Amino acid sequence: MSGAHPDPARVAELKAREDAAFVAARPRSQELWAAGQGVMPNGVPMSWLRTSYDHPPLFIESAEGSRLRDVDGHEYADFNIADMSMFTGYGPAPVVEAVSRQVARGSQYLLPTEDSIWVAGELGRRYGLPLWQFTLAATSANTEVIRIARSLTGREKVLFFDGKYHGHFDDVLVELEGDHLVPEEAGLPHDVTERTLVVPFNDLASLWQALASREVAVVITEPALTNNVGLLMPDAGFHDSLRELTRNAGTLLAYDETHTQVVGPGGLARMWGLAPDFVTVGKSIAAGIPLGAYGMTEEVAAVLQRPGGRDDTKPQVAVGGTLFGNPVSMAAARAAMSEVLTDGAYAHSQRLGTRLADGLSGVVTEAGLPWTTHRFWPRSGVSFSPAPPRNAVEATTVLDVPLRRLMRVYLANRGVWDAIIGAGPTCSVAATDEDVDAYVAAFGELVGELGVG
């Protein structure tokens, strides 16, 4: 069967077997889920914890380093790392110490602390933008970037690339369906599509056509799309053209590095020498303590400057929140960036990412499967196609959902917590060679059971 895709009937057979094993081995998780359904919709504190996976939710007891431990005593090498938010690994000592110390001193003041100056300065050093503001999540950072861009340009519309994910707020929850825009989920305003444009990634002609009306305030994109459809890499020259087209149209440009920041200090903006007006980050930058941040050029930041303080007569941009920039988040971010997310730690995770990709590629090649292994520094994975997809339509077309679901539960039953599609698998800075070898071994066992070799 060399060169053949797995038989769907065999995939379904293995999935039924693995689902049954997953449930049978986790009675305490089942008990907690049943109790949760009496007090929370879906039995979980956030709906994603039910909809991200098709098997019953897993309840966690603790985590340390690169490992999760569930309430039934099972341990997992974690390659999902809480959807990239725990790239630092679990419980890094410097962050634990800094947060504990700050909570004892006060968890909230609604006043600035010295740590905020250090964190803003370090983000500026890493990402090359001089001025920063803080939120509690990257979603809020992207929301504030849009408001600043609208204030600066006097324009309403925002442009994204198909296959994106930049948070859970109205303007971004719009997608292409054929050749027209539709809301992605229920509960959104009826006119949400009127403020948003979506074009295919790597399609410069469609981008220019959308910008030509000079109605777009800002383009927001990941430097490489990673957060919704697997991994989409930019074509050669794409970012140079993106920057030129936005400038010619009077449109601002924002890079969302919330996921791509794991490639190294300063993310892809630094690695590829990009020149945006904004950068947004979140998740792992404070080791999973809630924090979002956005950096700006001095020209952009001028709209926020208020020399007259509260009595300044200039209209105020709608940004800010009571818990934004709180001392616990600042202490966590300072400890994470100064002592955990170091150059050496990034190099370690990159080496493991290469080890993982080499292992996956070996399994795929030996089985004669027409699949591609992607390499994205600490993040590796498999696309079910002979060439990497270039846009969301291609990525969706080649995604075998039943097979992807089988992979997740199969690996979970063998002590490996695999990624949702938007997160990898990714090697954290706490991951080990043994973790990577466990992933490759479980993946190889699955391919062997599929009978495609």
Beta bridge partners of 225: 232
Q: Which pLDDT score is estimated for 184?
A: 65
Domain limit, last residue, from 340, 367, 400: 340
- For the segment 213-236, the average pLDDT, to the nearest whole number, is 95
Half-sphere exposure of 301 (CA within 13 A, CB side): 13
| 154 pLDDT tier (thresholds 50, 70, 90) | very high
Domain of 445: which CATH number?
3.90.1150.10
Total domain count for the chain? 2
State pLDDT tens for residues 189-219: 777 778 899 999 999 999 999 999 999 999 9
432 in the same domain as 372:
yes
Residue 3 within any structural domain of the chain? no
Beta bridge partners of 131: 296
User: What percentage of the chain has pLDDT greater than the value 70?
Assistant: 98
CA-CA-CA-CA dihedral for 209, 211, 216, 218, to nearest 10: 120
435 in the same domain as 332:
no
Residue 1 within any structural domain of the chain? no
401 to 124, 185, 188, 393: CA distances (angstroms): 40, 20, 27, 15
Sign of the torsion formed by the C-alpha atoms of 159, 163, 165 and 169: positive
pLDDT for residue 1 is more than 50: no
Q: What is the pTM of this model?
A: 0.95
Confirm if 197 and 157 have CB atoms less than 8 A apart: yes
Q: How far apart are CA 433 and CA 235, in angstroms?
A: 32
User: What percentage of the chain has pLDDT greater than the value 90?
Assistant: 84
Domain limit, last residue, from 340, 367, 384: 340
Q: What is the mean pLDDT of the chain?
A: 94
306 in the same domain as 379:
no
Q: How far apart are CA 221 and CA 207, in angstroms?
A: 12
Q: How far apart are CA 100 and CA 96, in angstroms?
A: 6
Which pair of tokens denotes residue 125?
């050093």
Residue 110 within any structural domain of the chain? yes
Q: Which pLDDT score is estimated for 180?
A: 72
Q: Which pLDDT score is estimated for 286?
A: 98
Nearest Cα neighbor of 443 from 364, 376, 370 is 364
329 in the same domain as 248:
yes
Domain limit, last residue, from 340, 367, 396: 340
Q: Which pLDDT score is estimated for 374?
A: 92
State pLDDT tens for residues 95-146: 999 999 999 999 999 999 999 999 999 999 999 999 999 999 999 999 999 9
Confirm if 424 and 380 have CB atoms less than 8 A apart: yes
Nearest Cα neighbor of 23 from 420, 416, 404, 412 is 412
Q: How far apart are CA 360 and CA 388, in angstroms?
A: 15
Residue 183 within any structural domain of the chain? yes
Note down the domain range covering 194: 93-340
